[in-house]
């Protein structure tokens, strides 16, 4: 209760009881039987109560006896009569036991009304000049005014309602009945003067007629009011349901809207808004973002900062929302609030650039509350702030972005308002619907182990999920076409799928001939799935690839485990696998695994099937790109890097050597006697020799050494971090290896290897210099070996030291 209400009640209590004591001090009852007769009639009449429309209170027809008492009794007797019927009315069949202060207030206000009306009726000379009827009408009018206005004032102060509106709607309708009561009292007074006080019994039928009229009139009034309230409530619930459905596209929740509404309305009450303004604010709190229907969803749900062009598109939503609501023809001004809820106190807002109090007060309140709720809600690009911190952030905008008066109310009452918002959302059951329909024929898609129907979910979640599904499918399609790197494409796909379909492990198998090999694996049992090589038709994924049909909630343990592995995927309970069909058939299988059984739903399968063709095409494109890239940098015969790849690698190694000041050696190797192989055994055998030598050289060198084919029978070896002696030792191993391979393939000892060596930085600072120097020394070594062969001298396993170093 506000301080004003308390002060007013105290004033009425003091003045009323002072008047009561003053009146009772002059007590005298010349005709006690007459007083008892009036009490006997008035007390039963006081329990004939009717509910006052619009407020928590009742009225009775006892005013008729009060008016009769004013005309026939002394003031103390009328006060006794009035107090008695008031107290009985308070307690008889009350909806709840009244508080003592309520009873005392009713007694005090009744005393003041009776005292004033009695003195007006007996004003000196008034009866002589105007006769008995005019004073009684004036007295009845004064009694009505004081009796109803005092109650209307306290209701307006305690319930924060307009005094004039409460009095006009709840009490003014009864004024004619008071005038009719005055007429009855006047007629009865004439009868009493001629026949005695027993004529008061004639008032009983009149009393019943007045009461029945009250009941019928107020009953109809209450029915009409109830109907109007039900229609208004239906109207508001319809608005709320539509607002929920619309804002669900922006991932809003019922709690969000209810919270904004509670905060806004309570702040509006604190700032003294009238009932019409509060109703407008209540509706605007629900519908302020309806204009986002005109904003593309990819902008609304964008996780990062908007571009200037995107923000310009967002700024239309207050205008569109206001235009939509203007067509709804609300009985209170909702559209101006919606149009202006993004205006700023300093005039820098949109769409109209209003400033200060030019902005509707409802829009100023809604701007603060909407901003607060946005800061305290999770977004895709940031986490929610605690309420206390959010209030500080919003309060920092007082005087610039927001109305300082609204901020002052928010800072003072935010804890209480948050509690009220929580109380209004507790116990509200969400509307549910079953998303699985059993009737209807299957489309023949080849479902296996279809699983169970999905449980019911909140309809708002379904709307939000539909929007999110479109957005995520769009993002997946965009990501799949954004890269030609197979590993990068599959990595991004796995992240996107995790948001759409919860899983514990993912494996994307690529088909090579009649086998499936894991191209991308992540999650539980990573090592197991990485080691798989699945023949078509075997295991879960092999069955999917061969039959080109999906499996829903299959058993992951049936995937074939490679030899030597001592465990199976027993920790996983269900699998969802779909074939990836490209232009030329099945290119692979996408398999998702979950630790729980029956973890995947038909919706999950539907999503995978919707994007499986795009995934297959992306894998095909990535494989073709990888093949083209490999062909451009790899020798087709030996599988070694080619000349182009060699120069790129050599430049990288030289840059590293310069940075770390480490040595590096380059060996240029050429086969001696290779022409005899082609002439005597043919080119196929020559190719066989080159492939065997390439594989042997790659295996002999270190893992991080680089072996490339320059062309023909010439090879290059890059040895990072080696000294001259280590390079000579490697050259000797390669030369010896060549002779061994020649004897194994041709059963003759006519092959040898000439090797030229160049060192960084002694023999050159770039790739061309090093290769040229090593090539020169290789030909020098080849000439030396040729001269040995021509003179009939045996070729040593290792060239002289001077041959390799110089």
Give the single-character DSSP code of 524.
Answer: T
Nearest 5°: the CA angle 105, 106, 111 is: 95
3-225: in CATH 1.10.287: no
Strand 534-535, strand 664-672: pairing: unpaired
User: Quick one: pLDDT at residue 165?
Assistant: 75
Fold of the domain spanning 251-425:
Hypothetical protein af1432 (1.10.3210)
Strand 714-720, strand 664-672: pairing: antiparallel
User: Quick one: pLDDT at residue 276?
Assistant: 86
pTM of the model: 0.45
CA distance 361 to 334: 12
Closest CA to 71 of 127, 147, 145: 127
Instruction: Name 753's bridge partners.
Output: 671
pLDDT above 70 (res 547): yes
pLDDT (tens digit, 9 = 90+) per residue, 214-271? 667 667 777 777 777 777 677 667 766 666 666 555 544 456 677 888 899 999 988 8
Q: How far is CA 175 from CA 114, 118, 203, 652, in A?
A: 16, 18, 19, 102
Beta-carbon count within 10 A of 643 CB: 16
What token pair was written down for 83? 């107090």
For the chain, which residues make up each domain, given as ranges?
3-225, 251-425, 460-632, 643-805
**643-805: which CATH architecture?**
2-Layer Sandwich (3.30)
Mean pLDDT, rounded, for 467-494: 66
589 close to 514: Cβ distance less than 8 angstroms? no
DSSP alpha helix (H) spans, 531-673 = 539-547, 602-633, 643-660
47 close to 92: Cβ distance less than 8 angstroms? yes
Mean pLDDT, rounded, for 353-374: 91
Beta-carbon count within 10 A of 693 CB: 25
CA distance 448 to 128: 106
User: Quick one: pLDDT at residue 200?
Assistant: 55
Strand 585-594, strand 574-582: pairing: antiparallel
User: Quick one: pLDDT at residue 657?
Assistant: 92
User: Quick one: pLDDT at residue 804?
Assistant: 38
Mean pLDDT, rounded, for 544-569: 73
pLDDT above 50 (res 356): yes
pLDDT above 90 (res 720): yes
Instruction: Name 708's bridge partners.
Output: 716
Q: Which residues are CB-neighbours of 453 under 8 A, at least 6 positions away?
A: 434, 435, 436, 438
User: Quick one: pLDDT at residue 246?
Assistant: 61
Alpha carbon 448 to its chain centroid, in Å, reads: 34
Band of residue 466 on the pLDDT scale cut at 50, 70, 90 = low
CA distance 511 to 584: 12
Fold of the domain spanning 460-632:
Beta-Lactamase (3.30.450)
Q: Is the dihedral of CA 172, 176, 177, 179 positive or negative?
A: positive
Query: Could you write out the DSSP letters of every residue in 544-558?
Result: HHHHT--EEEE-GGG
Beta-carbon count within 10 A of 47 CB: 14
Query: Could you write out the DSSP letters of every residue in 563-595?
Result: TT-----TT--EEEEEEEEETTEEEEEEEEEES
Band of residue 192 on the pLDDT scale cut at 50, 70, 90 = low
| Choice among 194-198, 660-664, 745-749 with the minimum mean pLDDT | 194-198
DSSP-based three-state secondary structure for 59: strand
CA distance 354 to 150: 42
Q: Which residue has the higher pLDDT, 441 or 575?
A: 575
User: Quick one: pLDDT at residue 361?
Assistant: 93
Radius of gyration for the alpha carbons in the chain, expressed in angstroms and rounded: 48
Q: Which of 60-74, 122-136, 329-343 has the largest mean confidence?
A: 329-343
What token pair was written down for 535? 């023949």
């Amino acid at each position: 209760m506000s301080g004003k209400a308390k002060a007013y009640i105290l004033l009425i209590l003091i003045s009323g009881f002072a008047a009561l004591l003053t009146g009772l001090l002059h007590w005298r009852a010349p005709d006690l039987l007459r007083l008892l007769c009036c009490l006997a009639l008035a007390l039963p009449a006081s329990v004939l109560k009717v509910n006052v429309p619009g407020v928590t209170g009742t009225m009775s027809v006892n005013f008729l006896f009060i008016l009769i008492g004013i005309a026939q009794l002394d003031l103390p007797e009328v006060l006794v009569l009035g107090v008695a019927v008031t107290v009985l009315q308070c307690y008889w069949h009350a909806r709840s036991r009244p508080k003592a202060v309520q009873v005392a207030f009713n007694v005090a206000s009744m005393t003041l009304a009776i005292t004033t009306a009695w003195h007006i009726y007996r004003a000196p000379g008034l009866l002589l000049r105007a006769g008995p009827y005019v004073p009684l009408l004036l007295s009845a009018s004064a009694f009505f005014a004081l009796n109803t206005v005092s109650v209307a004032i306290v209701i307006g102060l305690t319930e924060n309602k307009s005094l004039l509106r409460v009095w006009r709607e709840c009490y003014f309708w009864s004024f004619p009945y008071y005038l009719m009561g005055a007429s009855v009292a006047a007629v009865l007074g004439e009868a009493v003067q001629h026949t005695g006080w027993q004529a008061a019994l004639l008032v009983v039928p009149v009393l019943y007629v007045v009461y029945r009229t009250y009941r019928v009139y107020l009953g109809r009034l209450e029915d009409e009011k109830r109907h109007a309230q039900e229609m208004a409530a239906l109207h508001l619930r319809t608005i709320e349901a539509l607002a929920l459905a619309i804002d669900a596209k922006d991932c809003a929740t019922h709690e969000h809207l209810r919270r904004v509404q509670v905060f806004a309305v309570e702040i509006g009450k604190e700032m003294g808004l009238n009932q019409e303004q509060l109703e407008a604010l209540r509706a605007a709190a629900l519908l302020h973002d309806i204009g986002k229907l005109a904003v593309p969803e990819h902008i609304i749900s964008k996780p990062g900062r908007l571009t200037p062009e995107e923000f310009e598109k967002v700024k239309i939503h207050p205008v569109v929302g206001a235009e939509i609501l203007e067509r709804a023809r609300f009985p209170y001004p909702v559209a101006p609030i919606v149009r202006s809820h993004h205006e700023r106190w300093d005039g820098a807002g949109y769409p109209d650039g209003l400033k200060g109090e030019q902005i509707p007060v409802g829009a100023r309140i809604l701007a603060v509350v909407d901003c607060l709720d946005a800061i305290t809600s999770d977004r895709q690009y940031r986490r929610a702030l605690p309420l206390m911190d959010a209030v500080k952030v919003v309060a920092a905008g007082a005087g610039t972005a927001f109305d300082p008066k609204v901020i002052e109310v928010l800072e003072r009452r935010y804890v209480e308002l948050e509690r009220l918002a929580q109380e209004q959302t507790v116990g509200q059951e969400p509307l549910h619907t079953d998303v699985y329909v059993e009737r209807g024929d299957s489309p023949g898609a080849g479902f296996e182990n279809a699983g169970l129907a999905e449980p019911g979910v909140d309809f708002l979640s379904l709307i939000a999920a539909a929007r999110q599904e479109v957005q995520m499918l769009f993002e997946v399609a965009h990501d799949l076409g954004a890269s030609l790197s197979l590993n990068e494409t599959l990595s991004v796909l796995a992240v996107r799928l995790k948001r759409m379909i919860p899983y514990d492990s993912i494996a994307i198998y690529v088909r090579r001939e009649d086998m499936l090999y894991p191209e991308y694996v992540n999650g539980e049992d990573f090592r197991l799935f990485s080691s798989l090589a699945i023949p078509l038709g075997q295991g879960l994924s092999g069955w999917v690839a061969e039959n080109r049909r999906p499996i829903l909630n299959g058993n992951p343990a049936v995937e074939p485990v490679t030899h030597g592995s001592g465990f199976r995927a027993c920790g996983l309970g269900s699998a969802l696998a779909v074939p990836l069909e490209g232009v030329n058939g099945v290119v692979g299988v996408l398999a998702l695994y979950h630790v729980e059984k029956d973890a995947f739903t038909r919706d999950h399968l539907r999503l995978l099937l919707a994007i499986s063709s795009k995934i297959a095409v992306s894998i095909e494109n990535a494989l073709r790109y990888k093949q083209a890239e490999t062909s451009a940098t790899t020798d087709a015969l030996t599988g070694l890097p080619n000349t182009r790849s060699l120069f790129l690698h050599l430049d990288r190694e030289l840059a590293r050597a310069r940075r770390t000041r480490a040595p590096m050696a380059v060996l240029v190797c050429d086969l001696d006697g290779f022409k005899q192989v082609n002439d005597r055994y043919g080119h196929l055998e020559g190719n066989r020799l080159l492939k065997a030598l390439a594989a042997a050289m790659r295996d002999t060198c270190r893992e991080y050494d680089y072996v490339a084919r320059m062309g023909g029978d010439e090879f290059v070896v890059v040895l990072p971090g080696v000294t001259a002696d280590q390079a000579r030792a490697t050259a000797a191993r390669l030369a010896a290896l060549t002779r061994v391979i020649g004897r194994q393939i041709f059963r003759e000892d006519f092959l040898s290897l000439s090797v030229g060596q160049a060192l960084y930085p002694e023999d050159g600072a770039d790739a061309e210099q090093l290769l040229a120097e090593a090539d020169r020394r290789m030909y020098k070594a080849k000439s030396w070996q040729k001269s040995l062969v021509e003179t009939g001298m045996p070729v040593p396993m290792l060239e002289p030291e001077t041959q390799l170093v110089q």
